[in-house]
Structure 1
Amino acid sequence: MSISSLTLSSFSRSTIQRVQTQLVDAQKEFNTGRHADVGRTLGRVTGNAINYRAQEDTFNSMLTSNNLISSRFNLMDNALSSIRTSGDDFSKALINGTATGTGTAALVQSAQQGLQQVLGAVNVSSGGDYLFAGTHTNTQPVKSDSTALTTLNATMQTNFLNALGISDVSAAKADDVKAYFSDAGLPRGGTTYRFSTDFDAQWATFADAGGQVSTAQISKSETIQTSVSASSDAFKNTVAAYTMIGALGVDQMGDGARQALTTAAQTRLKMGQDGIVKVQADLGVRQTRVAAANALLTKQKDIVADAYGRLENVDQTEAGLMINQLKTQLDATFAVTGKLQGLSILNYL
């Protein structure tokens, strides 16, 4: 073996570089808790670690999506609760306004305000998406502008007058009003008139019935409906009840006709309120399903995290000890190198 100054110098430099590289890797492992070079360390089983991490990304993505769904459900539930609360208050006002004409102007105003509140709740949005619009998230689910409301009220009042064969609501007869709002309808002149038929025709243009209920995947094997259609009967019946009082001139009717109209409105409002309760109950079931899916996804995520952890993770205490050893070795190497630089081949000989 030949000895030269170049050989001694090269050996020192290569030793320092090797120790410095090991020190960088050890510090990285101490900071991250993972192998400095996972691929180099794991070799052929690196693919397993990559697969586990891909699964974890999928679970994290689903959990994030599910949290957004839960947030949407909470907003929808709040909107439905506000509709139900307003409906309860209006139901009490209807009872108080049934027996006498006193205060019917306030009843009409209450109906008009209640209608605005319902439409506002149904048109609730989050992040630019309408929550009750189904797959038509960019389209307002129900019209709420003054022009649309004026058209709705005017059309329903015209239909009402035509059905009863009168030109002024003050001439409305109790039996005719009762028949018009019944399922059987009001037969007149060879035609049977029904409020439900007239209102359904208006509702079809008033609400966006084309938006289908949207769905989303909440786990690898489970999907769920994430919206409620604004064209559902729950909303339609509630809006109908407010329109009956707010648009048909209840404050201008005689006692009998007013009694018949307010009784019909109470029936329609109850149908709407019962529908809202069912929608909320269904939302509660969906929220429970999302919570259960999240619990399962979290467990699955923990399992794959543990699986790739067993492959990738290092003992950080051990890594810390290795850092100290490598620093000591590096200091010693620098010291030896310094002494070697003071030598020459003549000293060696």
Structure 2
Amino acid sequence: MKTTFVSTLAIQSALRLTVQRAQAEMMNAQTEATTGRHADIGLELGAQTAKTISLNRDVARLHTIIDSNALVTNRLSSSQNALEQMANSAQQVLDTLISMVDINDRGRLDVAAETVQTAFQNFTSFANSSANGEFLFAGINTDVKPLADYTEGGSAAKASFDAAYLAYFGFTQNDAAASGITTAQLDDFLTNQVEPLILGAGWNTDWSSADDQVMTNRINTNEVIDSSATINADGPQKMAMASTIVMEMLSTPLSSDTRQELVERAIDYVAQAITGIDFQRAQLGLSEQRIEKANDSIQVQIDLMSVYIGELENVDVYEASTRLTLLLTQVETSYTLTARIQQLSLTNYL
């Protein structure tokens, strides 16, 4: 028979190592019980760790797209609201022109011209709307106010119109000689002089600082949309054309026939403006619908990936909680044994 010497120090050391291992396992069990995932993904999954990392990266990328889509949706919504107000301003101009019964009454002409001026000022204000520090209708030049204010002092657009009028007719708008302007002269002036200033090259020179290229955004892994509008579109230009000729010539001393021709031309321009603005609204509405569908598609992808990630990473929370309880009991028992062993000393009996 052989006996082996075992010291109390050796027993205490063994218990201490047991406690340390149990504490480490407790931390892992607590993490798993709290998060529902393996405490050490790499240790548990081994070679499949690369797969779960790749899936989590894809999910994070898809969430980033959804967050970006929220910003794009906000820009589109703000643009839609501004375009609605711009269309309302154009409709106000149209209603004013259509409701003109007596086109020779000076008081009514002045009121109509002032109404159109106010409506166009509102139109300009909404055309220069911004969201999150970006101008909505400047195309890709989002840091530049897109539309110059025609009624503002020193307006280049007004100076160009005044110069063109004087050069063509030989007198200013309010000169009494304006009563001699014929309908043919008016049509020629509007078509060959004013339209190039507003609907042609003069637009980018005197009116607009916007870019023709609109903003684009990727709303899905393989889908890109136009996410803004530009003031350089046909609708805003026609609105500027209609408003300008009304503000400048409606209450001037024109003959009845010539003024009637002016009103009819203005009505035609503003009607085209409303159609053009509504087209822009429809285009942005289509982009909003595509974002909504893209978000639904992305969410389906995220849900599917999350299910597969869960199958790889998730643990049984109840099992982890039970294991944590057992480990806690084990540690407490080890503490109790350690305390009793420390009392096994001959000095306690001498």
Q: Could you tell me the TM-score, scaled by structure 2's length?
A: 0.90
How far does the alpha carbon of each residue in 1:153-177 deviate from its partner, in whole angstroms, 9 at most, with x for none? Answer: 2421332343345553343223322
Secondary structure of 1:224's match? strand
Secondary structure of 2:100's match? helix
Using the alignment, how far apart are the partners of 2:320 and 2:195 within structure 1? 77
Matched AA of 2:125: G
Tell whether 2:84 aligns with 1:81. yes
Higher mean Cα deviation, 211-220 or 273-282?
211-220
For residues 2 and 119 of structure 1, do their structure 2 counterparts lie closer, same or farther at Cα, with a shift above 3 Å needed? farther
For residues 296 and 345 of structure 1, do their structure 2 counterparts lie closer, same or farther at Cα, with a shift above 3 Å needed? farther
Using the alignment, how far apart are the partners of 1:269 and 1:149 within structure 2? 25
Cross-structure match for 2:323: 322
Give the alignment partner of residue 52 of structure 2, picking from 49, 57, 61. Answer: 49
How far does the alpha carbon of each residue in 1:12-54 deviate from its partner, in whole angstroms, 9 at most, with x for none? Answer: 1011111111111111111111111212222221111111110
1:36-185 equivalences in 2 (<5 Å)? 36-97=39-100, 99-102=102-105, 103-144=108-149, 147=152, 150-167=155-172, 168=175, 169-181=178-190, 185=191
Secondary structure of 1:252's match? coil
- What is the CA-CA distance between 1:99 and the residue it aligns to? 3.7
Tell whether 2:22 aligns with 1:19. yes
Tell whether 2:202 aligns with 1:202. yes
Cross-structure match for 2:36: 33
Q: Could you tell me the TM-score, scaled by structure 1's length?
A: 0.90
Using the alignment, how far apart are the partners of 1:25 and 1:105 within structure 2? 83
For residues 145 and 319 of structure 1, do their structure 2 counterparts lie closer, same or farther at Cα, with a shift above 3 Å needed? farther
Number of corresponding residues? 337
Whether the 8 Å CA contact 2:150–2:158 is kept in 1: the answer is no
Higher mean Cα deviation, 30-39 or 193-202?
193-202
Whether the 8 Å CA contact 1:153–1:248 is kept in 2: the answer is no
Secondary structure of 1:216's match? strand
Tell whether 2:281 aligns with 1:280. yes
Cross-structure match for 1:190: none
Cross-structure match for 2:235: 234
Matched AA of 1:302: D
- What is the CA-CA distance between 1:98 and the residue it aligns to? 5.5
Using the alignment, how far apart are the partners of 2:35 and 2:77 within structure 1? 38
Cross-structure match for 1:189: none
How far does the alpha carbon of each residue in 1:96-115 deviate from its partner, in whole angstroms, 9 at most, with x for none? Answer: 22642331111111121122
Using the alignment, how far apart are the partners of 1:321 and 1:263 within structure 2? 85
Higher mean Cα deviation, 99-108 or 139-148?
139-148
Whether the 8 Å CA contact 1:218–1:290 is kept in 2: the answer is yes
Cross-structure match for 2:222: 221
- What is the CA-CA distance between 1:83 and the residue it aligns to? 0.9
Q: Which runs of 5+ in 2 are unaligned?
A: none
Secondary structure of 1:285's match? helix
Using the alignment, how far apart are the partners of 1:161 and 1:260 within structure 2? 20
Cross-structure match for 1:269: 270
How far does the alpha carbon of each residue in 1:295-318 deviate from its partner, in whole angstroms, 9 at most, with x for none? Answer: 011111111112221111111111
Whether the 8 Å CA contact 2:62–2:298 is kept in 1: the answer is yes
Higher mean Cα deviation, 279-288 or 332-341?
332-341
- What is the CA-CA distance between 1:237 and the residue it aligns to? 0.6
Using the alignment, how far apart are the partners of 2:116 and 2:213 within structure 1? 29
Tell whether 2:348 aligns with 1:339. no
Using the alignment, how far apart are the partners of 1:202 and 1:113 within structure 2? 23
How far does the alpha carbon of each residue in 1:135-170 deviate from its partner, in whole angstroms, 9 at most, with x for none? Answer: 111111112375567432242133234334555334
Matched AA of 2:17: S
- What is the CA-CA distance between 1:194 and the residue it aligns to? 4.0
How far does the alpha carbon of each residue in 1:288-346 deviate from its partner, in whole angstroms, 9 at most, with x for none? Answer: 11111100111111111122211111111111111211111112111112111112499
Whether the 8 Å CA contact 1:154–1:247 is kept in 2: the answer is no
Whether the 8 Å CA contact 1:98–1:263 is kept in 2: the answer is no
1:291-330 equivalences in 2 (<5 Å)? 291-330=292-331
- What is the CA-CA distance between 1:277 and the residue it aligns to? 0.9
